[in-house]
Structure 1
Amino acid sequence: MLPALSEKELDRLEDLLITYGNDYSVLNLAELNGFFTALASSPNRVNPEQWLPAVAGGKVPKFKKPAHEEAYTALMLRYASQVAEELADDPEHFEPLFEQSEGEEGPTIILEEWCFGYMRGTQVAEWSELPPEQDRLLKAISLHGLEDNFELLDSMSFDEHQACVPLVVEAAQGLYQYQKQHRH
């Protein structure tokens, strides 16, 4: 069991994501948390060789310094295992790592990044079609995690948006528990 990342290590990981990021890569911890949640919730096992390039938008970055590459890979692997462990230990109380911002209406939970990461994870893990109940759960996530839905999201009020938060949390928990029973 690998130790969970400290605040400092999480900051370092986020710095590396930004430094080596591009338009197609995962750029923050919320998105990475969503990505790893989907991988951990996946019926198919996905190896780091498959998911590391996906995080970076297609291929692993060219690192300026060997130390960066080591830190990047080590922190990624530990964070992936940390998310998987949080899910395995207590799926019913699993809390996704959402971005938060201070809006006019007070603290706002931003679902988009986490959901985008999750949907990216489902693509990398090549999820097959889900039964209706689980498909409904996935739709709670894909509503905020696919560009096709931006127009719809723009038309939602602040309250409607925030009302989605528990639905996304419930979906993350439910999909994990469902897939756990159907692991290959």
Structure 2
Amino acid sequence: MSSSLRTLLANPQLAQQLLSEAQTRGFVTAMAAAPHLINPSEWLAFMWGGEETSPFASQEELEAYANAIVELWNESRESLLDGSWQWPEGCALDDKELVSTETREFAEGLLQGWQLSRDDWETIMPEESENNALLGGVLLCFSLLYDPENAMEALSQEGADGLAQFEEIFTSVPTMLSGLTIRAYQLVSKGDEEA
């Protein structure tokens, strides 16, 4: 994440109106993973709650924010497609809380962003398809990371060692998310060739 974006997100006047840094990363990652490219002009306002008017004091500030978001999107898209995507700094497991605040917020942002591209995902990976299992697995992982207490309880009821399972889920996310993005890209490319 660029220092200019970090600075904007740390601005006390904007902090209450914009998604946090981890939520922003999650949301942008969801947009970068989407099967069809969605123009940032269509989703940028969701970064400040969907309001028509942005919370920025000047047009220059808004442009700096938008440019930084697009730069983050480009970095995320590239790393997802080449399989090098990793959890952002601060996202980790936590002994007391199971996951760090950053992990929980990243998962929240990603799940929010996924809602915007949901129809595209369901079109290219319909319920009956084997690809849908990959999509479902990724979404389940992020749902569990967003709500780890209930996830641990559910894992324990299944007789699993919740903590070990949780660690496995967290560790597998980068590979699964990159794999999902690459598969979606292949399906969309194939569809474009056939059209």
Relative to its length, the structure with more helix (as a share) is 2
State the partner residue of 1:177. Answer: 182
Q: CA deviation at 1:158?
A: 5.7
1:7-156 equivalent positions in 2, closer than 5 A:
8-15=3-10, 19-22=13-16, 25-28=18-21, 30-59=22-51, 60-88=53-81, 90-91=82-83, 93-97=84-88, 99-100=90-91, 109=100, 110-127=102-119, 128-129=121-122, 130=125, 131-145=132-146, 149=147, 151-153=149-151, 155=153
How big is each residue's C-alpha offset from its partner over 1:125-178, in whole Å with a ceiling of 9 and x where there is no partner? 234334223322321122224xxx465146476655434311322321221121
- Evaluate the alpha carbon distance shift between residue 13 and residue 180 of structure 1 in structure 2; reply closer, same or farther with a 3 A threshold: farther
CA distance in 1, matches of 2:177, 2:42: 22
**Which structure has the larger Rg?**
2
Q: CA deviation at 1:31?
A: 2.1
- Evaluate the alpha carbon distance shift between residue 103 and residue 96 of structure 1 in structure 2; reply closer, same or farther with a 3 A threshold: closer
Amino acid at match of 1:132: A
- Evaluate the alpha carbon distance shift between residue 44 and residue 32 of structure 1 in structure 2; reply closer, same or farther with a 3 A threshold: same
> How many correspondences in the alignment?
170
Q: CA deviation at 1:95?
A: 0.7
Amino acid at match of 2:180: L
CA contact (8 A) 1:39 1:122 kept: yes
Q: Mind listing any 5+ residue stretches in structure 1 that lack a counterpart? A: none
**TM-score, scaled relative to structure 2:** 0.70
- Evaluate the alpha carbon distance shift between residue 20 and residue 10 of structure 1 in structure 2; reply closer, same or farther with a 3 A threshold: closer
- Evaluate the alpha carbon distance shift between residue 9 and residue 63 of structure 1 in structure 2; reply closer, same or farther with a 3 A threshold: closer
- Evaluate the alpha carbon distance shift between residue 99 and residue 161 of structure 1 in structure 2; reply closer, same or farther with a 3 A threshold: farther
**TM-score, scaled relative to structure 1:** 0.73
Q: Mind listing any 5+ residue stretches in structure 2 that lack a counterpart? A: 126-131, 156-161
